Amino acid sequence: RFAGKNLQNMKPWIRSSRLASTLAFIETTKEGAIVPSSLSALNAAQQLGNDITAILLGSQASAAANTLKSSIQCSKLNKVLVSGDAAYDHYLPEKVTPLIVNLLEGEDYSHFVVASSAVGKNLLPRVGALLDYQPVCDITKILDPKTFVRPIYAGNAIETVENTQAKTLLSVRASAFDAIIAGKSDKATIEDVGSEEHSGGDVKWENAKLVESERPDLSSASTIVAGGRALKDKATFDKILLPLADTLKAGIGATRAAVDSGFCDNSLQIGQTGKVVAPDLYIAVGISGAIQHLAGMKDSKKIVAINSDPDAPIFKVADYGLEGDIYEIVPELTEKLKQL
Ligand code: FAD
């Protein structure tokens, strides 16, 4: 059983939509702010060219719907669907999926768009399985409403995918699309969508243990200072990286080697099995540049690499390379930056 439905017994419905129209799933923080990756997903939804209906769920949905209307400029945004049902807080996919499937089963929507966030990655495969559609995941470019570009093999190849199914389910790599521009979307109406029966009755939100940090979140930081195995241990990682990050007001990232060695929390891992980032400036400190790490940062606008090995692969993707000892270069760089 999957989210309360037996897949074998599902009706094999394949109906094409009457009109091209996009349902865009928008996430909010628990304070009711729209999460940045959803603003990028909305920009991608706009590029599809269809009319857009946004959907917001959970206790903050109504307030966030007003914020959405008054803070973004999206001429295609016709409608904002909200359900203030607290059962949708935390976006447990078992709870959210039945509502989304119900909306998509009709003929109103040809496209469904989510950010390729933890929430989107949790939701989209369930929706795809229940509707019997193959989602197109992690797109980085829209060529036309049926054709998309996305990275595969940990970013080592880029493929162009044409979706020939009647509906198109998409997750959007947020770092590949700018956030939708600020402004107003006055013509959008706000409608209550109620709440579908929550089939995930045996699933309950318990709690979240999040690492609180004053630093910019990796997904939205415009500068990231990231450290690798060369930092030796947690105390050294902090001693070398934090002053540089503080000076630049940067977020901190790390390689899997650094995380596995206990230098920092695993929420800081960047790469294939960590976060995918594309800041304006990425400073890689003592990082070799393994393909799994590059998969998470090589789309950064400017990459600075500091490494003592001139053959380190990180230099192949770096815009600026500093060959030398991080223990000399990073403190010197930090001091010079402080004087600017
Ligand atoms: P190393 O490769 O050991 O590099 C350390 C670098 O520091 C070297 O280039 C060295 O020249 C340099 N150095 C050492 N001392 C100094 C000094 N004093 N001054 C200057 N430079 C110095 N890795 C990730 O990062 N993210 C992932 O998401 C990820 N996912 C993975 C998934 C899978 C399935 C697998 C198999 C691996 C994954 N990895 C991932 C691991 C990845 O393959 C590498 O092992 C890892 O990225 C290496 O981390 P590193 O660059 O810190 O360490």
Please give the ipTM for the structure prediction: 0.99
Atom of ligand 1 nearest to the CA of 255: 25
The verdict on the CB of residue 232 being under 6 Å from ligand 1 is no
Per-residue pLDDT of the chain (340 residues; tens, 9 = 90+): 333 344 344 433 334 445 689 999 999 998 999 999 999 999 999 999 999 999 999 999 999 999 999 988 998 999 999 999 999 999 999 999 999 999 999 889 999 999 999 999 999 999 999 999 999 999 999 999 999 999 998 778 999 999 999 999 999 999 899 999 988 888 899 999 987 776 677 888 999 887 777 888 887 789 999 999 999 999 999 999 999 999 999 999 999 999 999 999 999 999 999 998 999 999 999 999 999 999 999 989 999 999 999 999 999 999 999 999 999 999 999 999 999 8
The verdict on the CB of residue 287 being under 6 Å from ligand 1 is yes
In contact, 83 and 195? CB cutoff 8 Å: yes
The Cα–Cα gap between 39 and 251 comes to 20
The Cα–Cα gap between 253 and 271 comes to 10
Atom of ligand 1 nearest to the CA of 327: 18
pLDDT in the model for residue 222? 92
The Cα–Cα gap between 297 and 63 comes to 34
pLDDT in the model for residue 18? 54
Rg (CA), the chain: 22
Q: Ligand 1 centre and the CA of 257: distance in Å?
A: 5
The verdict on the CB of residue 97 being under 6 Å from ligand 1 is no
Q: Ligand 1 centre and the CA of 210: distance in Å?
A: 25
Atom of ligand 1 nearest to the CA of 254: 25
pLDDT in the model for residue 11? 37
Strand, helix or coil at 123? Answer: helix
Atom of ligand 1 nearest to the CA of 229: 52
Q: CA quadruple 148, 121, 132, 24: dihedral positive or negative?
A: negative
User: Is residue 291 a known part of a binding site?
Assistant: yes
The Cα–Cα gap between 260 and 271 comes to 13
The Cα–Cα gap between 175 and 279 comes to 8
Q: Which residues make beta-bridge pairs with 253?
A: 226
In contact, 51 and 22? CB cutoff 8 Å: yes
Strand, helix or coil at 227? Answer: strand
> Which residue has the least CA distance to atom 19 on ligand 1?
325
> Which one-letter amino acid corresponds to residue 248?
L
- Closest among 86, 69, 108 to 186, alpha carbons compared: 69
In contact, 15 and 27? CB cutoff 8 Å: no
